[in-house]
Structure 1
Amino acid sequence: MDIIQSVEAIRNNHAPSAETGIALVPWTLPTIPEIPHWHDALEICCCLSGKGVFYFKNREYDIGPGDLVIVNHIERHTSKSYRGFTCSNLFLFFNASTIEQLDFRLLRPFLYDRDRFVHRIPAQLPVAREIGQLIARMQEELAERRPAYGTLIKSLLFHICSLLARHYDAETNGVWQPFYAKYAAVRLGLAYMQTHYRENIRLDDVAKAMSLSPSRARHLFTEVMGERFKTYLLHQRVQAAQRMLVQTDLTIEAICEQCGFQSASSFYREFRRLVNETPLSYKKRHSPPLLTATF
């Protein structure tokens, strides 16, 4: 696996810019997938070349040139290239709030029923080709940065989401509006967790942020996220630890404390269970090599 790519993946540094509303990230999938993760932004993967596979909780999809993969920001996923078929892609990241400002109904493809939704749009479909062309146009605008390029890129994003809403109409019709209301409530809890995961937070704290009872918050969280509050919080802390192990020179003990673990033993145990290696081994494997000065 390319070291720099691995570092960037764990940093999860794909924040859309205020000017364009998007982040466009060229990315080659590793041959060994990282642990399942999520991004703060919504995600569209456009495969450029090679062959790879995306893994979701109960599904997996082979991808090839021209295929699209649609990913929301609450469903954990991972991906890899098949050996001998290096899979290069262009990832489009954007915030749900950007779309809501225009028309919240365009979020329909990202508020899906996990039992019905198909994440992959095959290259042979006209909508995949059209969206691929729009993403390529975004890339050109970002490279040239001509006057009003930010506004034009946002208009391309709205066009893409409109095409997705039309494509997924049958799969999302009748289920998305009730789910949107539940998602809006859970999103308040997710925002609280993002700010306070370093602390010893409990479900009661998150329920208060959602203005719900703990029992209702627990049920709603599981329904929307597809996993329990404690499971999500644990993955959030481990993912933060992965970033800090690679990005900082902090000791493992300091990282343990800053990521909200109550003891070093629990940190080592849960990290190894989820990542399949120790924090120290992970840090050594993913940290960039030291540069040697030459005279």
Structure 2
Amino acid sequence: MNTDIHELVQLDKLPIYIKVHQKPGKTEVPPHWHQSIELSFTMRGKIDHFIIEGLDYQTHPGEILVINTQIVHSIQNINNKQTDLMLTILFPYSLVLSMFPEINHYLIVLKNVSELAFNQLSQYYRLQTLLSQMITISLNNSDTFKNLELTILSYQVLEILLKYFLEPRDNNSRLSDNLIITGHLRNALDFIQTHYQEQISLQDIADNCHLARQYLQKIFRQNMGITLGKYLKKYRAQKAYHELCNTSHTLTTIASNTGFSGVRSMNRALVANYGKTSMQIKRVTQRHI
């Protein structure tokens, strides 16, 4: 299995990663990237903020998004409902490459439904049907041929994407600039996610990326929708929240483990992101044990 910290892919029994989301409450996936090509399908409900390369999408029932390889993206849902139902598929890039060796020269582009060509529109509706079937099968634990059916359907989805929704990669200077910026962002994310437990500064992150701090902060804010400093605090807060909910460590130990200077600074970050202090989170967690 790929140990890249960004390749959050669990293949197990299937050649393609498939995940159904139906958990109520707040959902947040920090900015990240992976080699795999990702597809997101909203069957019911909505995603409040699906940010892809700095563009903020709000999805609606039936909407399909595709994130091409190595594109930075993040998700924030303010309040998922019990009835919300979404699907994520990750197609390993090596698999796509074996099926279509020319993929390096193309992007998969799913435009807004109102902008699709006539032949694309019918295929978009077909995609919706296939993806809905995948959700139904995924939730049916008694299906003996579940893995076989999901594999067949996912390959049909990939076939439609490659046949009807490819656009040539543009080799102009704008794309080159975008790829360079994406590389800088990936380097910054790599550094934060590897060194967040240490007392790193924004200057340390910029130095690691070989960029001026002001320039890195500018492109980070423009493309991520969040400042570099807030992202670092948010990432540490997420790690602290997980440790608060899943360990018996003291608050001081957790603050130290997640890169905060102390419990007070950890509490400020937790309140900003979760509305509760570390002690309040601990109490809620202990009540449910």
**RMSD of the TM alignment (CA)?**
4.6
Offset at residue 36 of structure 1 (A): 6.9
Partner of 1:44: 39
Change (3 A) 1:192 1:59: closer
Structure 2, gaps ≥5 residues long: 1-5, 139-143
Rounded to whole Å, the distance in 2 between the matches of 1:119 and 1:226 is 25
Partner of 2:20: 26
Partner of 2:10: 17
More strand by share: 2
Paired-residue identity, %: 18
Offset at residue 33 of structure 1 (A): 2.7
Partner of 1:130: 126
Offset at residue 279 of structure 1 (A): 2.4
Structure 1, gaps ≥5 residues long: 1-12, 111-116, 291-295
Residues 1:61 and 2:39 aligned together: no
> Please, what TM-score do these two structures have when normalized by structure 1?
0.65
> Please, what TM-score do these two structures have when normalized by structure 2?
0.66
Describe the superposition over 1:137-187 as per-residue Cα deviations: whole angstroms up to 9, x where unpaired.
6978993359xx98x898667546547854xx69x9975443122102221
Rounded to whole Å, the distance in 2 between the matches of 1:222 and 1:179 is 15
Partner of 1:248: 247
Bigger RCO (CA 8 Å, 6+ sep): 1
Describe the superposition over 1:72-96 as per-residue Cα deviations: whole angstroms up to 9, x where unpaired.
643342254457xx11222224677
Change (3 A) 1:214 1:203: same
Q: Secondary structure at the match of 1:63?
A: coil
Q: Secondary structure at the match of 2:222?
A: helix
Rounded to whole Å, the distance in 1 between the matches of 2:115 and 2:284 is 34
From 73, 83, 89, the equivalent of 1:92 is 89
Q: Describe how 1:102-181 pairs up with structure 2 within 5 A.
A: 103-104=103-104, 106=106, 125-132=121-128, 135=131, 136=133, 143-144=146-147, 159=159, 162=162, 166=166, 176-181=175-180
Q: Secondary structure at the match of 2:74?
A: coil
Describe the superposition over 1:205-229 as per-residue Cα deviations: whole angstroms up to 9, x where unpaired.
2223323333433333333323321
Residues 29 and 79, structure 1, Cα contact 8 Å, conserved in 2: no
Aligned length: 260
Change (3 A) 1:96 1:224: farther
Offset at residue 119 of structure 1 (A): 11
State the one-letter code of the partner of 1:144.
N
State the one-letter code of the partner of 1:51.
G
Offset at residue 266 of structure 1 (A): 0.8
